[in-house]
Amino acid sequence: MQYFLLDDVINIGKLTTLKNALQQLIEQQQAVTIDASKVERIDTAALQLLALFVQTLKNNNIHVTWQQPSEPFITMVNLLALHSLLDIHHG
Amino acid sequence: MSLNLDQFKASFFQEGFTNLDRMEQLVIRLEDDPGNSASIQAIFRVCHSLKGSAGTFGFTEVTTFAHALETLLDEVRQGNRRINDELITQLLLSTDVMRNLLQSLEAGEVPNTIESESVIAALGQMSRTDDSCNAKNDVADAWHIDFYPHNDFLQTGNDPALLLRELGRLGQLQLTLQVSEIPAWEGINPELSWLAWTIELQGKSIKKEAITEIFEWVDTECDLEVVNANPSESHSPIDLHEGEVNLANGDATATTSATSTAAKKQRMMRVNAEKIDLLLDYSGEINIAKDMLNTLFLDLKLNKVIPPHELRRFEDRLDMLHESSRGLQNEVMSVRMQPMTLMFDQFPRIVRDLSRKVKKRVNLKISGATTVIDKDMIDLLMDPLVQLIRNALDHGLEIPEVRKSRGKPEEGLLRIAAYQEHGFVHFEIEDDGNGLSKRKLLEKATRMGLINPDAPLNDRAIDHLIFAQGLSTADELTQISGRGVGMDIVKDRIEEIGGFIDIKSKEGKGTTFHIRLPMSMSLLEGQVVNIAKQTYIIPLIAMLESVALEGGQYHHNRPLISEYQWRNEKIKILNLRKAFHLSQLLGSSPRPVLLIVDGKEYGPMGIIVDDLLEQKSIIVKSLQRNFIDIPWVSGSAILGNGEVTLILDCANVIRNAFKSLQLHNEGAGI
Amino acid sequence: MANILVVDDMQIMRDIVRATLEPLNHAIFEAENGEDGLTLIQEQRIDLIITDLYMDGMDGIEFTAAVRHLAEYKFTPILLLTGENSSEIKFRGKKAGVTGWLLKPFEPEKLKSALARLIS
């Protein structure tokens, strides 16, 4: 089980780093837990990348769990209707 | 595929200048006669064809400009823009700009785009000014918005989430994510946008202006459509074509049909811009090949003697045409293709809920979510697939205690797989549960009178009984399968879209359903065959194998139904000539072919044809209504030589043959 | 909440922006021209840039292009203030990387709603 902590501020300027980190998680081919509790600001580009990450793992039958997604995080997910692609089901 | 186009550039420029002159004349004529819609159409066509041919040669400065002009002209011809002085001026200016561009390009220079960019900006400005004839539609309580950002949307620092948030301040939002294709992880550029949304906005008297203002900075970076979702509120004129004017009592009452002219729901589709460019390339190449072929043909007509190198050139051009049109067809078809992800995404939830209801433990294995299929088929497949899943969970898998007592793991296996093979899409739904009880199936079917006691069914045929109407071996109606969508409907649905469903089951071990589907509902991949000098088409999806037969004459004299050893099975083969009552006197073909086809409940069966001709992709044309319904013909097609052929529904041909044999035997007292 | 830079050669404009945005809890930074602005953003993390178009030295569009060349500011929202509703300016601005624009003179409310589309 791999554990990944998301930064407090994640935006389009930081995506190369994020992509590389996610890439490593994919290569391990093991289930992943993403801790989104610290996220204060996140933009569409970052969520888009995370959605692709979740779908890519799903395609290989690897499970992604979300841990304590913060309010700002959930707000953005709802704004973009990305809960399905991110596989995140919270009220 | 690249092509040396230099030799054709000269004619492109010549045509281009001629067209621009024509356009100029048409614009001037339009100034005098603004109502002349023919002129407007003609101007639009000139611009459009210039854009297309410039695109073939890669003159992007011209295509960019022509595109901006075309957008404006489209508004004019739709009646959404008035023809006034300013418009005429800009149109004339535009012809000048394009002329200058062509001149630079012809001279081999890089064209100066300052002028064209400035005019593009002006044209764009005109397109967006509220000086349009749609002012009366700008306030409503419900709006439907399509928001499709382009790839480069995020480059200027705009964020769709913030725009959507602001949109939400205008009223109640209902958002639906629209993603036709999830990109691959490898090589993904995270700075490019691939998300899109359709939005329903509801509120009190929302101005269209308020909506478009939110997107004002990004209108060139996205496709945005804002449509009044409440047509009754738009004061569009009553369309008298759809109604009648009753003058009987001296007063005119107009009745209109329910659908008013505003906001008609169209079937729309979003296509990646690069795909359109590719399509344009292919069609450009086809056009050129066609012109070249024409020229060659005219030459050949005049010269009775055809030198071999001319023939070779002709052949090369023909090959090019083949390749380009195949390429075009494939690309167009692929536009309709979507991965099944969004459908497969729903399965885990469905399985989880159902398994809780029936108190069974399920190990769900899913694969192939990214397999692509025609988007219309995805909608039609959902119901049958879900029914098969319900069936597997309800009747297939056993409760944990039973499984334990049978030495199986307590968790039942449910495997759903999709894959592409041989140009068809395949689904497998497998469970390792009860399997079908052949005994029960036979009992029930016999009781229902479905079986002829003298015609023994093989294993496969017995399993296929599950698809018979009204037959269910469930002892009681369970809570999840009681919905009435039975296996017979599953089979119907699959066959309606041109597919085949097969079942393999072993009592106590489990059941596997195998579905085979064409990639597209509009094109049929067919094998053209010859039967006693008549041509027919057999759908490739029904064909399992073809075998060349030795000893021609012998096969044409076979009885209607005879036996044959194919792989490890003894299968029945049908003499089609006899089935179709085609005269034996037509002589025999030296190379008859045995086609092994999917006989559905009869399993693999053979049919003998005289010859195999080509394989074709056919757009299926259904038979006219004035023909009697012939069950063993599923449609018609037109071959390259203009001949009309019938498409055979093999399973029905086989059923028919067995029925007639049964009647014959009964009549003869056998 | 956000660090906002205002670049304008007119004091009064910078004052108006400050007066409108400071109450929203943003930290406002000022620069009189493009060069100063570029220096400032490299010393201080800035989340949003508001710049006038016509200034001495480099204009707002040139300034934007220069900002975009800095890796950390490739996607930072940039709002261009301009007195004319010119499609040419919008076109050139977009090409240089401007995120959005606001017409002068503007009501403070307009500035706030523009902001809502630029930062969260």
Write the pLDDT tens digit of every residue in B342-377.
Answer: 788 778 878 888 888 888 889 999 998 888 888 778
Ranking B235-244, B524-533, B628-637, C32-41 by mean pLDDT, the lowest is B235-244
Write the pLDDT tens digit of every residue in B406-433.
Answer: 899 999 999 999 998 877 899 999 999 9
β-strand B510-518 against B424-431: which pairing, if any?
antiparallel
Q: What angle (nearest 5°) sits at the alpha carbon of residue B592, between those of residues B588 and B595?
A: 140
CATH 3.30.565.10 fits B339-518, yes or no: yes
Backbone torsion region of residue B156, taken as left when φ is above 0, otherwise alpha when ψ lies between -120 and 50, otherwise beta: alpha
Q: What does the alpha-carbon distance between residue B651 and residue B655 come to, in Å, rounded to a whole number?
A: 6
Determine the residue of chain A that is closest to B160 in CA distance: A44
CATH of region B523-667, choose from 3.30.360.10, 3.90.1150.10, 3.40.50.300, 2.30.30.40: 2.30.30.40
Q: What are phi and psi of B34, to 5 degrees?
A: -65, -20
Q: What does the alpha-carbon distance between residue B527 and residue B542 come to, in Å, rounded to a whole number?
A: 10
Q: Residue B5's pLDDT band (boundaries 50, 70, 90)?
A: low
Tell me how many residue pairs between chain B and chain C have CB atoms under 8 A apart. Answer: 51
Cβ of B158 within 8 Å of Cβ of C100? The answer is yes
Is residue A91 one of the residues assigned to a domain? no
Asked if B560 and B574 count as a contact pair (C-beta separation under 8 A), the reply is: yes
Q: What is the CA radius of gyration of chain C?
A: 13
Cβ of C117 within 8 Å of Cβ of B166? The answer is yes
What strands, in cross-sheet order, belong to the sheet with A32-35? A2-5, A32-35, A64-67
pTM over 0.80? The answer is no
Number of domains forming the structure of chain A: 1
Q: How far is C76 from chain A (nearest CA, A)?
A: 8
- Contact list, B159 vs chain C (CB under 8 Å): 120
Q: What does the alpha-carbon distance between residue B27 and residue B518 come to, in Å, rounded to a whole number?
A: 49
- Contact list, C87 vs chain B (CB under 8 Å): 121-122, 124-125
DSSP tag of B609: E
Q: What does the alpha-carbon distance between residue B142 and residue B185 come to, in Å, rounded to a whole number?
A: 38
* Other beta carbons within 10 Å of B195: 22
Write the pLDDT tens digit of every residue in B246-281.
Answer: 333 333 333 333 333 333 334 556 676 677 777 777
Write the pLDDT tens digit of every residue in C81-120.
Answer: 998 888 788 888 998 999 999 998 888 999 999 999 999 8
Interface contact B68, partner C, CB < 8 A: no
* Other beta carbons within 10 Å of B374: 23
Interface contact B615, partner C, CB < 8 A: no
- What ipTM score was computed for the predicted complex, to two decimals? 0.96
Q: What is the mean pLDDT of residues A6-22?
A: 94
Q: What CATH number corresponds to the domain at position C84?
A: 3.40.50.2300
Determine the residue of chain B that is closest to C64 in CA distance: B156
Q: Which of B41-55, B261-275, B548-562 has the highest mean pLDDT?
A: B41-55
Three-state DSSP class for B408? coil
Architecture label for domain B6-128: Up-down Bundle (1.20)
Asked if B591 and B611 count as a contact pair (C-beta separation under 8 A), the reply is: yes
Neighbors of chain B by Cβ distance (3+ pairs < 8 Å): A, C
Question: Is the pLDDT confidence value at B244 over 50?
Answer: no
Any idea which residue has 């089979």 for tokens?
A: B491
Determine the residue of chain A that is closest to C68 in CA distance: A13
For B448-530, where are the alpha helices, taking DSSP H only? Answer: 459-464, 487-496
Question: According to the model, what pLDDT value does residue B453 have?
Answer: 64
Q: What does the alpha-carbon distance between residue B64 and residue B61 come to, in Å, rounded to a whole number?
A: 5
Asked if B486 and B495 count as a contact pair (C-beta separation under 8 A), the reply is: no
Q: Residue B228's pLDDT band (boundaries 50, 70, 90)?
A: confident
Compute the Cα dihedral for B435, B514, B593, B531 and give only its sign.
Answer: positive
Q: Where along chain B do its domains lie? A: 6-128, 135-233, 273-335, 339-518, 523-667
pLDDT above 90 coverage of chain C, percent: 80
Domain range spanning residue A50? 2-86
CATH of region B135-233, choose from 1.10.3470, 3.40.1010, 3.30.70, 3.40.50: 3.30.70
The b-or-e profile of B306-345 (16+ CB within 10 A means b, else e) is eeeeeeeebeebeebbeebbebbeebbeebbbbbbbbbbb
- Contact list, A85 vs chain B (CB under 8 Å): 177, 179, 182
Cβ of C91 within 8 Å of Cβ of B117? The answer is yes
For chain B, the average pLDDT equals 78
Q: Residue B160's pLDDT band (boundaries 50, 70, 90)?
A: very high
Asked if B125 and B184 count as a contact pair (C-beta separation under 8 A), the reply is: no
β-strand B604-609 against B569-575: which pairing, if any?
parallel
Q: What is the mean pLDDT of residues B627-653?
A: 77
Q: What angle (nearest 5°) sits at the alpha carbon of residue B10, between those of residues B6 and B15?
A: 130
- Per-residue HEC secondary structure of B29-58 comes to HHHHCCCCHHHHHHHHHHHHHHHHHHHHCC
Number of domains forming the structure of chain C: 1
Higher pLDDT among residues B154 and B557, named by residue: B154
Three-state DSSP class for B302? helix
Listed residue (B517, B535, B539, B516) closest to B526, CA to CA: B539
Question: Is the pLDDT confidence value at B29 over 70?
Answer: yes
Write the pLDDT tens digit of every residue in A25-52.
Answer: 999 999 999 999 999 999 999 999 999 9
Domain range spanning residue C59? 3-116
Distance from first CA to last CA of chain C, Å, rounded?
10
Q: What CATH number corresponds to the domain at position A34?
A: 3.30.750.24
Q: What does the alpha-carbon distance between residue B48 and residue B42 come to, in Å, rounded to a whole number?
A: 10
Interface contact C72, partner A, CB < 8 A: yes
